[in-house]
Each structure stands twice: as C-alpha cells, then as structure tokens.
Structure 1
Amino acid sequence: MPRKAALEERIVAALQRLGFTSSDARIYLALVKRHPATGYELAAGSGVPRSAIYATLSQLESRGLVNAVQRRPTRYRPLEPERLLAQLDARFREDIEELRAGFANLARPAADSRTWTVTGYAAMLEQARALIAGSLETIHASLWRREADALAEPLRRAADAGRRIVLFSFTPLPDVPGRALSYGIPEAELERHWPHRIVLLADRRRALLGGAADSQDNQALVSEDPALVETAISNLVLDITLYGHRFGADTSVVVAGLTTRLAPIEELLARAAPR
C-alpha cells in the first residue's frame, strides 16, 4: 500500500476509534483534502457510495463537522482539523473527568485488584502502551522484536517526553531512543526454542509480565503488587547482568537504576558478621 494511502487508512481508523463511522471518517477526510466539494465529487473521492453520501453529509452537518457553503449545486467544506481536534480533546477530557469522579465515589477496590489478568495479544499490547504512556521517569523492558516494533512509537513519544528507556532482547531491536541491549538472534531461530514473552516496567512501580503469543488466548499480568513488581525487576536484572558478562559490557548503571528499591544485599553482606 502506498505511503499516502496507508496514512489515510490510519487517520480513518483513528477517527473510528473516536466515534466516527467509516463513512463519516472517509467523507470528512475527503473534504479536508479538497474543499469545497459537491456530494458527487465526494462520492468519487471518498469511496463512500453515492446512495449514502447525502445522508452522511446531513449527519455531519448536524454535528457541526461540515458546512454547506454554496447552492446549486451544494458544496461542502469541513470544520478545520485543528478545531475538530480541540473539540474531541475537550469532549474526552470531560468524559474522563466524569469517569474519574464516578469511580472515586464507588466502593474501594479489594487489595487483589492491584493485579489483573490480560487475555489476548491485542489487549496485552494496549496495556503495554498504557504503561508506557503513564510512566513518569523510567521504562525498562525485556521483549522480542515483534513486540518492540509494535511499541516503537509509544516508546519514541515517551523518550521525547524525557523518560529514560532501557530495552533488552535476545532478538534485534528497532531504532528506539534509549539504551538497547540486544543479542541479535534472528527471531525465527529463537521461536524454534522459546515462546514470545514480555516484561515491562514503568517507574519500577508497575509491571506487565507474561506471554506475548499472537493469539486471543495469550495471557499476561499487569500489577502494582510489590512482590510481582520485584519479580519482574529480578528477571530483568538477571538477563541484563548475564548480557554484560557475555559481551563484556558495563551494565552496572542499568542494574543500579533497577535495584534502587531492592534490598542492598552487597552492603548487608559486607556488614554481616562472619559465622
């Protein structure tokens, strides 16, 4: 698919996630590209059937998203994209605040709600994106190339926002800002021995860990439980330490950054009286 067509499909998909129908999104996009335009021109430029054009235009006009500017024939122009984005931003901010207030008035969750199971590959990736977007300081992850590619854009945005990123993988990694520790083993070769798995830490306080099989029954855990978060940290520390030994790489800064909340075992051993 040509790059421009792929970009337009991503825009249509994003608008659909925000409540537009496919016809709404395609007609609005066609108007952004060329306006003013008649219904006939929009049918040709949007791929929406002529039989549906005018009903959809009427709905968009009633929502203030398009405006009829000429008669005989009627021509339409879109609400400017920046104004549309501002409206959507305000609407969703209000909805989120209403949800936040509503949930705050519900009964307090049980203690075990700090850990929940995520079923399905797509749901696991959505949780990973949410952890990355919600991080305030650091992101550490052990993952495969396929999952790293799926999370590359959120990771780049996090890096642009000043988050410190460390990625570990037995497979090659994409070009993402931060420190990359990679064995470089081709993914197809590794798949003959191991299933895909993922460990992702946000601020060393929230963790995603578990399977990363591209299937609807894949399961992973998302947790803020200290014991599970510490388990995820320990797994990462072990992988990164072994990487350093095998390749003669200095990973001490990475390990120190991960273990700031763990017990200082070396210090405690030095203080312990000999038996």
Structure 2
Amino acid sequence: MMERLTALGFTSQEARVYVALLQQPFATGYELAKSAGLQRANVYQVLSALVDRSVVARVSEDTPARFVAHPPAEVLGRIKRQTAERADSLIADLAAVTAPQEQAAFTLRDRAAVIDHTVTLVREATRRVAVCVWASDLDWLAGPLRAASEAGRQVVVNVFGDAELDFGDVYRHESLSRTVGGHLLTVAVDHTTALVASFDDPAGAVFTRNPALVRVVEKLIRDETYMAAIYERFAPELEAAFGPHLVNLRTRLLPPEQAQQLISIVGFGADSAAGLLAPSPEVHP
C-alpha cells in the first residue's frame, strides 16, 4: 500500500502518516510519530505539507493540535483527475513537437509486448481490422476482435486451425498440423498501421505506419483471404493441377527446410520428394 501511494506522488513519510491518520483520526503529532515510527519533528513537517495539499486537515487550534485525514476517495479522486488533465495536456504538447514517424518501424522483443500492442491496436481501430492468426491465439485476441466488430468496425479474420467465431468475415485455412512457415501473426488496422509477429522462440514483432509497408501487409492479408475463399470453392481442381495441399507449386517457392516439412506433411515417398525438390528447369528466351 505504501509503495502504491508513493507511486502517486506521496513521499514514504507522507504515506506512513496519511495511513496512520486514517487509522487514528484526531491524533496529535506525537501520537502519529509513535504509530508511524517517525521522529516527532519530521511528523510535523510532513503534516504541514499534507495540510497544504488538502490531504489532511487540522481540526483544533488547541495545543497539541489534532488532525484528521481527508477520505481516500476524495484525495485519490483529486489526484486521478489532476493526473488525467496533466497527461491529456502533455499528450497534446508533445504531439506538437514530435517529428513525423510514419517512415519508422518499431520492434517488440517478447511475447507479452506483442500481445499487449496487438490488443491496443485492435481496440483503437476506428474503421477496419484484418488479421491472419493461429486459432490458439484467439484465446487472447478473440475478445478484442469481437468488441471491434460490435463497435461497427469491419473485422476480417484469416484463421489457421479450428476455431468457432460468430462475428466478422471469417476465412478458414489449413489445420495447424499442415501449416508451415512458423507461428506467425499479421495485423492491419484502418489501412494506416500494420504489425507482423512471430511467436516462435524468440518471439518478437515489427509494427509500422509506413504507408508502403502497411500496403504490403494489407496485400498479404488480402491474398490469404483470396486463397482461402478460392481453395474452399475449387479445392479438387486446384489439387488436381498442383498436387495435394498444392505441394507441387509450394515446394518450388518455399525455403528448402519448409519445403521438406511440407513434403513430410503431405506424405510423399523419397523418390517423389526428390523430384519435387529438384531445381526448376531454366527458361531461356
């Protein structure tokens, strides 16, 4: 409790005296010095400062003087209002002197920071949120996405794995057991902000307001959406042309280790795998 009071601007001695006076109304400085464990001279200095800040009040002119603490709801409510007013004013003042940062990309270094920033971006959306997300991450992201949808924002969700969602435009991709490329998350908000994260160890992310980078992430999410919709409608024809799970096409474009992973998922034998991983023939004009 003392640490929380000092975080709000009390000194450690002020916090101890205020709590002691809440517990012992109409106490004298001598009584407070004993209960708070302070020197009597220090207590009177602290009481004088607290009276000036309307945290405590002197209630007698007799000697020795007696004091009472103002109610916590009044004291802390005033601190809360003053802090909010100062923060709002400072936000405006700092915004006026801040250089444009739309060209920058910022890095987040751990899973907790990625989750916190992603939730903040979704909550602050005013028009649209689009994501590509693993089903397991909906444990923490579904709530903010639902709130955005209920607030009238367009919500587009590309989900990898099994998940039941009853809000937004949902596009379903392969199960997690068939997903290659790692545990990724992509988010685009209001066509102005984008975040790309990896939850593989070490987890981290990059977010940006750079217009060109935001458009790249927007396009990636749109392409995933198109692919899910097309695959749902034309899966037999696509797999007839490109193999199960589009393996013939995808192995030509994936990094070698991911191509090997995809082949093992699909279940080809060694000879077929060697053929799939062979270099593409050169094409000469």
When the two structures are superposed, what TM-score results if normalisation uses the length of structure 1? 0.53
2:132 is aligned with 1:137: no
CA shift for structure 1 position 151 = 3.4
2:65 is aligned with 1:78: no
Deviations, residues 58-105 of structure 1 (Å, cap 9, x unaligned): 8xx67969657999996662225765553332121112122212325x
**Quick one: distance in 2 between partners of 1:162 and 1:63?**
49
**Quick one: distance in 2 between partners of 1:174 and 1:68?**
59
Match of 1:203 among 190, 194, 217: 190
Match of 1:178 in 2: 168
- Asked whether the equivalents of residues 51 and 58 of structure 2 are also in contact (C-alpha less than 8 Å), the reply is no
2:214 is aligned with 1:219: no
SS of 1:123 mapped into structure 2:
helix
Aligned pair in 2 of structure 1 residues 181, 37: CA closer, same or farther (>3 Å)? farther
C-alpha RMSD of the superposition: 4.9
Match of 2:227 among 237, 242, 249: 242
Flag structure 2 segments of 5+ consecutive residues without an equivalent: 25-34, 38-42, 61-65, 235-285
Match of 1:127 in 2: 117
Matches within 5 A, 1:24-63: 38=23
- Asked whether the equivalents of residues 38 and 76 of structure 1 are also in contact (C-alpha less than 8 Å), the reply is no
Aligned pair in 2 of structure 1 residues 38, 70: CA closer, same or farther (>3 Å)? farther
**Quick one: distance in 2 between partners of 1:63 and 1:173?**
59
Match of 1:260 in 2: none
Aligned pair in 2 of structure 1 residues 238, 94: CA closer, same or farther (>3 Å)? same
Deviations, residues 195-241 of structure 1 (Å, cap 9, x unaligned): 3211100122321113133x5x4332222334432332232223222
Deviations, residues 149-171 of structure 1 (Å, cap 9, x unaligned): 33345434434543221122113
User: Identity rate of aligned residues, in percent?
Assistant: 20
- Asked whether the equivalents of residues 129 and 153 of structure 2 are also in contact (C-alpha less than 8 Å), the reply is yes
Match of 1:96 among 91, 96, 111: 91
Match of 1:267 in 2: none
Flag structure 1 segments of 5+ consecutive residues without an equivalent: 1-11, 40-49, 250-275
* Larger CA Rg, structure 1 vs 2: 2
- Asked whether the equivalents of residues 38 and 73 of structure 1 are also in contact (C-alpha less than 8 Å), the reply is no
**Quick one: distance in 2 between partners of 1:131 and 1:74?**
45
**Quick check: 199-208 or 115-124, which moved more?**
115-124
**Quick check: 196-205 or 77-86, which moved more?**
77-86
CA shift for structure 1 position 174 = 7.1
**Quick one: distance in 2 between partners of 1:232 and 1:114?**
15
**Quick one: distance in 2 between partners of 1:114 and 1:121?**
21
Match of 2:214 among 221, 224, 229: 229
- Asked whether the equivalents of residues 57 and 67 of structure 2 are also in contact (C-alpha less than 8 Å), the reply is no
Give the AA of the match of 2:84. D
**Quick one: distance in 1 between partners of 2:199 and 2:54?**
40
